[in-house]
Structure 1
């Protein structure tokens, strides 16, 4: 990127102009800090860049969805007011097979059921419940998990220099997590498994067809 004066002084220096670095820089600047972002490449954005790999064809070279972009960030940084437009991905996935068949999934639950039932009716039924568990996790747990983690476990004496105010805030966060888990009711065990277990055993337990398991495994690769 553009050269900066060697004598310039900054409150914060961020190495890497990827999406995380840019967001951190924007928040720091909003708090009145002077920020310098250093980037090796001739463009900013990191995994979120769009590049012209072939003449006339622009593609997202890494991040093809923005499912992890928090609404709070969009609002705080006024991204929509500054030109951000999010396009719905319809369909959400297309998995071709060597025998000419394919599996296509999207936002329409009935179409998803019909597509999966073409390979396995049992998997179509399981997928309906699988999506419900994911929706429960997103609705009840995501708001809690997006906070800074509280210190709820006993800490070594050298770590215990924590003020009463933080202890109270951490207890409130812990209580909020407990309430979020309780609100999931019967889907608690499955929800915890989806959050903590490896993708392969989870998908093996839920589904029988390889095409569906392969399609859903991409979520584990993305993170």
Structure 2
């Protein structure tokens, strides 16, 4: 397909959720807008799909939970979209027992801690720790849809010197090790620093701290909510809002080059060229450099394994004191004690598949069964989404297919070790008689949804404050600058851009709409 016009006020490269957010805001403000999407559909990595042949289950295929999406964006764009909170935060099997964190019952959570650790100390430390991150979330989250504060201003907003030093200045491992004594508890806390980030607790670069920060501030609460109808319900609502506002969305249109003089730009695609006053790029900075013909920064490296499953029924647990419907309703941690995470990182860092791959699982359908057909839901079917850690892209370089098979086998074996029956016995079958299971490595994400190196955040996350050398440039103040006055980042690679949030799209649109002196 090709754009209907020769030129637009704004052309957006990529129809993922951030590009659609930007398109909706800009079109509502009266700008002429075109979104050019290389695939045959919009949504990018935030899509739902019927993954298994002949099976009516619409899985959130790549991204699957919502934390950072501001209610402001939903309300301002008039989106018909909702999320649901999960009462169970997490369950971590340990031996014949486990640790259950129930946000609806402090007493039940305290008792679970006591059975695991034999002492109330870690539960009390847990309460103090998450009270601190809760205060941090309340103060930091509202700044994400405003121009970036300076470092000093953000420190004032947080108004907690202990939290500032622990999370913005020192490796996160120091805080975790000083606050908690139990290895399992430490691991449960630390996993939030590893989702989409290949690192360790004492990394001096603080990439673990930055990842952790974004995982605990979402929504001003840190809750990770379930998108009703699946992730595709969100991006479908965004596409509808953008079109209703007058934006043109062109699919099957791959942008091959961008040229700009800072005032006007031209974008090349297979069938021609389209002009733009502004270009918003909903792609990784590495990909933008290629489009501009510039020297690219090193390719980022993702480090996760995603396994989507459809089950006939939930599996039985070795821990008979917990109902599987509760254990899988929150985040189900596997092989994620503090020591296990450190060992897996060390093995992966030297090019080995972790001997006990760490991962975590959640079940969408326990909170929102609407993604299943009525027949599947009535029959007790459920989806499971597994997110594996410490599987960097480099592991797959020599033998992508063989390494993938070996890693999936090892990961499922680790899951089986905490179940009372093999997960394979619970898998549904598709119309061809094949198990309803698919796996995605970083290389798959690069090929299928254009994430360089399979990095789900496009590059390492940045702290949400203004760089010292930003000056008065509006794009820098909004965290979307590229070095070209009229070319802006509007994807996960922007400052404050990671996760399914729409924040980068909002902030790029606000940059375009900001009055010029």
Bin for the TM-score computed over the shorter chain: 0.7 to 0.9
- How far off its partner does 1:146 sit? 4.1
Residue 107 of structure 2, aligned match among 95, 110, 117 = 110
In the TM superposition, 1:62-211 aligns within 5 A as 62-79=62-79, 83-97=80-94, 99-108=95-104, 109-120=106-117, 121-150=120-149, 174=153, 177=154, 180-182=157-159, 187-195=160-168, 197-211=170-184
Question: Comparing both structures, which one devotes a greater share of its residues to helix?
Answer: 1
Instruction: Give the conservation status (yes or no) of the 8 Å contact 2:155–2:164.
Output: no
Task: Provide closer, same or farther for how the CA distance between residues 194 and 17 of structure 1 changes in structure 2, counting only shifts above 3 A.
Answer: same
Corresponding residue for 2:57?
57
- How far off its partner does 1:78 sit? 1.2
- How far off its partner does 1:148 sit? 1.0
TM-score by length of 1: 0.72
- How far off its partner does 1:197 sit? 4.6
Unpaired stretches in structure 1, ≥5 consecutive residues: 154-173
- How far off its partner does 1:151 sit? 5.9
Residues in 1 aligned to 2:124 and 2:92: alpha-carbon distance in whole angstroms: 20
- Give the secondary-structure state (helix, strand or coil) at the position aligned to 1:10: strand
Corresponding residue for 1:156?
none
TM-score by length of 2: 0.34
Residues in 1 aligned to 2:171 and 2:14: alpha-carbon distance in whole angstroms: 30
Corresponding residue for 1:29?
27
Residues in 2 aligned to 1:19 and 1:75: alpha-carbon distance in whole angstroms: 16
Instruction: Give the conservation status (yes or no) of the 8 Å contact 1:204–1:213.
Output: yes
Residues in 1 aligned to 2:81 and 2:126: alpha-carbon distance in whole angstroms: 33
Corresponding residue for 1:9?
7
Task: Provide closer, same or farther for how the CA distance between residues 18 and 180 of structure 1 changes in structure 2, counting only shifts above 3 A.
Answer: same
Question: Comparing both structures, which one devotes a greater share of its residues to strand?
Answer: 2
Residues in 1 aligned to 2:162 and 2:173: alpha-carbon distance in whole angstroms: 17
Corresponding residue for 2:354?
none
- Give the secondary-structure state (helix, strand or coil) at the position aligned to 2:88: coil
- Give the secondary-structure state (helix, strand or coil) at the position aligned to 1:47: coil
Task: Provide closer, same or farther for how the CA distance between residues 41 and 142 of structure 1 changes in structure 2, counting only shifts above 3 A.
Answer: same
Task: Provide closer, same or farther for how the CA distance between residues 219 and 149 of structure 1 changes in structure 2, counting only shifts above 3 A.
Answer: same
Instruction: Give per-residue Cα distances to partners, 1:47-93, cap 9 Å, x unaligned.
Output: 322222222333223333211001111111111xxx21212223222
Instruction: Give the conservation status (yes or no) of the 8 Å contact 1:137–1:191.
Output: no
